[in-house]
A and B are shown apart, each in its own frame.
Chain A
Amino acid sequence: MALRKVKGNLERMFDKNLTDLVRGIRNNKDNEAKYIAQCIEEIKQELRQDNISVKANAVAKLNYLQMMGYDISWAGFNIIEVMSSSKFTYKRIGYLASSQCFHTDTELLMLTTNMIRKDLNSQNQYDAGLALSALSCFISPDLARDLANDIMTLLTSTKPYLRKKAVLMMFKVFLRFPEALRPAFPRLKEKLEDPDSGVQSAAVNVVCELARKNPKNYLSLAPMFFKLMTTSTNNWMLIKIIKLFGALTPLEPRLGKKLIEPLTNLIHSTSAMSLLYECINTVIAVLISISSGMPNHSASIQLCVQKLRILIEDSDQNLKYLGLLAMSKILKTHPKSVQAHKDLIMQCLDDKDESIRLRALDLLYGMVSKKNLMEIVKKLMVHMDKAEGTTYRDELLSKIIQICSQNNYQFITNFEYVSVLVELTDMEGTQHGALVATQMLDVAIRVQAIRSFAVSQMAILLENAHLFFRPSSKMADVLYAAAYICGEFATELKDPQDTLDAMLRGKLVQLPGHIQAIYVQNILKVFSHILSQEEERGDSEAILLLCDSVGNKLQQFVSSADLEVQERASSAVHLVRYIHKQVSKNEGGMSEEISALFSGELNPVAPKAQKKVQVPEGLDLDAWINDPPPSSSSDEEDYKEDNAIFSNVVGNKFAPSAVPEPSEEELEKRRAARRVEQASNPHYLKSSHSSTKNRSSEKMNGQDDISNIPVAEIDLPIPLKIPGLASSNHYMSPSKAYEAVELDKPSKKDKKKKKKRRKEKVSSDDDDDIQALHVVNTDIGEMPEGAQLSDPDDNDNRPEDDPHRALDINLDEPLRDEEKLPVLAHRFVDESLLPIQDEPEEQANAHVLDTKHGKTSEKHKKKQGKDKKSKHKKDSKKKLLAEEERQRGVGSEDVKTVPTNTDDLWLSLDSPAQTNEQQLEPKDKLDPSTGEEKKSKKSKKKIKDSEKSSKHKDSAKSKEGYEEAAGISTPSKEILSFADKNRSAPSATAPPLSAYTKLAADKTLHLVHEVRTVGLENNQIVVSVVFNNISAQLVKELDFSVSDSPTVKLMKSDVDQYGVKLPFQLKASASGEALFAFQVSDVTFAQKLRCTLTYMIEGTDDISSQEKLDFWLHLPCSSFMVGRLTQRESVTDLLASGSLTARSSMTLESIDFDFSQVLQRVCFHAHFTLVERVDSTASLYSHSIQQHNVCLLLKFNMSTKTLVVDGKSDCSPLLSSILEEVRGLLTPST
């Protein structure tokens, strides 16, 4: 044995270690692959040995090879072996390897569950730390489910190092096992107030990550974060919180208003640039989310912009970059403030850093004005010439186009822009040819006045088309635009013949298909133009020549591979031949017919117009288009014939009598309506209008009766530009609706101009008065009513597999019974399946087994098969209690029952400072009924007033938010009314247990109270008192005072010198709740405090009378107990450690309850946690707010109805008081 060990050591000594490996690789630069292959062979050898240190060494080397890009997953099993070593050194190597090469889908992971669990619970915090670090890299859904509970337990570890890691780990658990989120969230929330700032920061981090993807579920945490923000000095945490607020404000503008002030203060005070920058970012987000209102808005904006300027001017390129980035966010909503810093931004355009230039470019579009546009564009063009990378050049090009074309060429004063576009075509290798082409088309079509200029430029482009023939050139697309413009506006061509020649010249077939197609079509257009010119001159010889040459040249397209080109070309060729034939026959007037082929005006149509056409009101698409009855018009006669045939076939069913014969008047109306419909229907073909118009105006007793058609009544806000039907009158009296659509119009001139243009077509009115140079048809294009260009798309567009989808969970809802984390339970151990692992512990075996069986604990929860059912029941009950307890922490509230939730209240408070104060100093309290009375009433009340108490519970719950929500307390002067709240039904099974007990009452007020411990605050308890106004008058100016005892003191603010003023009034039968915090210095005996409540009753005639109510507030020892159990084992340890020196026991006889009820009562009222229950024996645990431990062992004898209670504690007086209390709880009669 010893010999083997020595041998192992010796072997190990001469193995290659990591350093040797690295050295070797460096020495074998030339044949690295071969060397590594050799090393891998050695490693495989080493992994086969038994000695764990040899294996660890091998795995360490694998780690290095993994970084070099070698797959090491084949060694997965060995890695797990090394991970399971008991030595930290090897464990660390193993875990490192696992974190590098395992991932969610690694199948081997199921072997690790128990090992990791063991490490998580290890005595050595660094073992657990290792496990957590590695687990965070590869956690799988199965692991997450199986280990969630263990990680949860670590959240309450005494070691901050572990708490911190466990908190971060929980986030990964949530991602893989979303069901854990709700049960775990209360505890995670507690961690936000952890005494260790690292833990706190980790918790903030996790909540921020969660909230970033599903912000709305975390709005209720805003008050708590607000408190953290105003109190914390940890910049890391502040940054996270402020970023989180940035995500929350869009959902809740009121939050934004609250934030502005503290953020501004931070901006002024902080010296950390990172924090400053995040503050500015969030302020910007706030300002964006608040549409209007706050007067000091502009001040905030100014402050941000100023600070950003400082950042941009900084010599640090990083700050410069971030400054510009933030600037661009402001630009969207407050362009003016940014424009003031134009100089700076222009300066950044010349920066040597490309990232900075790109950011500055983003800002540029907000900087342009009519005056400087061309200057900026010229500058950008210079940059383009100099630019090296194509990406940057492309970016420049698209930016130039963007700034020129924004808002329908708002800033362009003369259309030098066309020359700019033409110049841009010189740019080599850009991807934006199509974009430039689109711009050319757009400008030429929209701006009538520059058409001739544009056409001449395009003609030049066509002349030089060969420049674009290089196959790789993306710029060829501009030929598309050029050809189209020259063809469409052929009348503007200076020398159409030349252009035609240019279009027919060269290797056109090299061009892409769509460009060829447009060529063919536009060659015809130009041809038809020349034809008409020649015809005027009567030169038929020239025409014949022309036909020949065009026809011949077009032949090359007929054999094109592109179908469309082929088709168009062949019809074009035949058309030209036909013309040739006709002309040679000396038929005149051809040109007119030919040009008719291409006539027609272009109107811009919005990209989505077709989709957005809405069915006009009153139009039923399923109804008959033409009424069945016959009429005198010819179509209707046709129809009648059809109908006749139809009725013949079908027989009597369609008897004519069934259709009432419409009067002439009705018909007229219908026709008119139809015409209106046609007018408003963009799909309706235009060709018919002239005839329609004529007919209708004749029929309608001549004159301008078109205006009688109720066009205006239809109130289509969009002028549907179908020329025929619209009368000029309609346009002359611009309806509001019309204007509404023309939002983007830059000037009235344009509008006028547009009207005019339409008029030209419609009624051929005066066609002079064409406005100067740059009249742009700035319509977004024809769009149906109410439709918007941008399709709002509010769907969740996250990918299906985004884990955050599953985490969109409402956290404010109370936990349901079945929501709990899977807990490790004992299982059958199947002997035949015993594993080969060398782990000695039996537990480990069970573990491996469990992983072999694969699945969750729940399936196997069969340890005590017989008891299972009953245990289950109990479990759920127990859970219920525990959950209730925890929920409190969440500040959860039943949304149904409370109209205003805590956020609302919190947000409606104006001054943040005030809130803080209030929260820190909870207020006063109330009065006392005597002890005995209280106790006896308690039980009675529980049964009788179950409904009532449950109501109180609701209200209590709803209010709980304040306390946890960083002490926001109740809003001042708010008049609370819970009267019309819905009640949640008390749970059907268990008798409703309410901790609210009667405190005092007089003829006006009825007070109930509950005592709670505060999360992590040592030495503090909170008494929640609900004031019910049972009178019919308004009760106000409630003032609560307590005579402090030496060990218990009410915590007051300085303002409240004597008592505490309650921040609300109570209307008739309303109730309100107040929380009072007490500082407790000794918890070992019960306390009795004398309290006084004074208040004013407002009588009928404005006469107020003052009343006073004295009472006793009882604080039994159990009110200082925290019934929370962190770790089951800790109780066992505690008992074993012998530190619980005080012992006491008592026997209670003739108990009326069954054992479950007993446990329930003790747990609930005396604040204990059930540690374990076996049959009719149970152990309970609790600790006081001063960390005294109390353990109880309850044994119940069913037949004799006796209960034996054994207590152990480290504080004897506390134990005896507790036992007394338990006695009181269970034997109400005494």
Chain B
Amino acid sequence: MANDKPEIAEGHRVPVKLKSTGEWHWAEVLSTRELDGTNLYYVHFDDFNKRLDEWVQEDQMDLAQLETAKKETKPAPFKLLNGSRPSSPERDVATPHLKGAPQVRKRKTPAPGEECPVSILFPNVSDSQDVPDQKIPRQTGSMVAHHDDIVTRMKNINMIELGRYRVKPWYFSPYPQEMAASLSVIFICEFCLKYMKSRKCLERHLAKCPLNHPPGNEIYRKGNISFFEIDGRKNKAYAQNLCLFAKLFLDHKTLYYDTDPFLFYVMCELDSSGYHIQGYFSKEKESSEDYNVACILTLPPHQRKGYGKLLIEFSYELSKIEGKTGSPEKPLSDLGLLSYRSYWSQTLLDILIHLKPQENGEKPTININEISEMTSIKKEDVISTLQHLQLINYYKGQYIITITSEAMETQDKAMAKRKVRIDPKCLHWQPKDWSKRGKW
């Protein structure tokens, strides 16, 4: 028989060759399409982050090992006990509502050594309006049946150009649909973040755009690093543009609601042509959970320069001025987790290593509350970090902190890398009392 090629469809699994490394890795087909007579397949690699999902051709697949049998690969997405996840507000009413869901648990502070219960990791569980049935079966593979999830599950923008960089997006973002065509590039003004469909349009825009910096107040300046504060209500256009852009690189962000309740802190690097955005974080004007960061992102071309830690450090400097402790909103991304752990570890060790002995010559002492107050790091995060670093030990009936020479060595190396730090003297900012105002 001629042309006996197997048909490759959604839910099928096959080894795929990664263009970047030449390695083969098992992947699942999530979608198919045809472009100019060629079949293309959107694949997700096993155990790799979604940002590595991509459209591939048949010549990148080992068809001899194609698995077409549909099987339940993973359990249903909506289990509510461990790793429970409430539905997003966008979810269609195909999932039945559970009124007064009994599975929602009350919050409690974790004791040391106890794994943090999920209700603390996902503080919105008790507030969620739609709590789906525990037994909804998946349909095929790892895809869920809801149309809007299938749409948001896949990258929709092929490429963006911001300033001097062309970056392939990592995740879905709701840019206008007509701009999401297969081979298109979205051109983004690096100063006002407006999005355009062609280089000519960008050229015309630049002839008119008056900005050389984000449209907000510069609240920090040291060397060539500055931070600008933008109010999501007063500068809606910029805030929306920033969120749309950030969504390309943040999986868990949702643009469901407007930007009014948020402040945006944009970190820039100055050169002869202006202030160039390197990263940002958003923050609720009033957070009921003491979050001091909502979303945080270092733009991909500027990653691995230590800017993530600078953004985090800045967020805690704001909290210090506010006289509060804070924590980043959950869930954290993989990159976010690595950065926060690193920041917390280095900040705590820095304090502990430099403690002076007491006046009577005895060993220095400290408690969790003091550490928390000095750093504005929430108590729970201080405790988890101390445990994670194995700094807290129990000896002769009390808790003690012990710092090994390895820990000190690692710390020295790490701090040597952090050449740029936030200098509180260069921060010109006072928090606003949002509760006093009628509306933000």
A and B interact physically: no
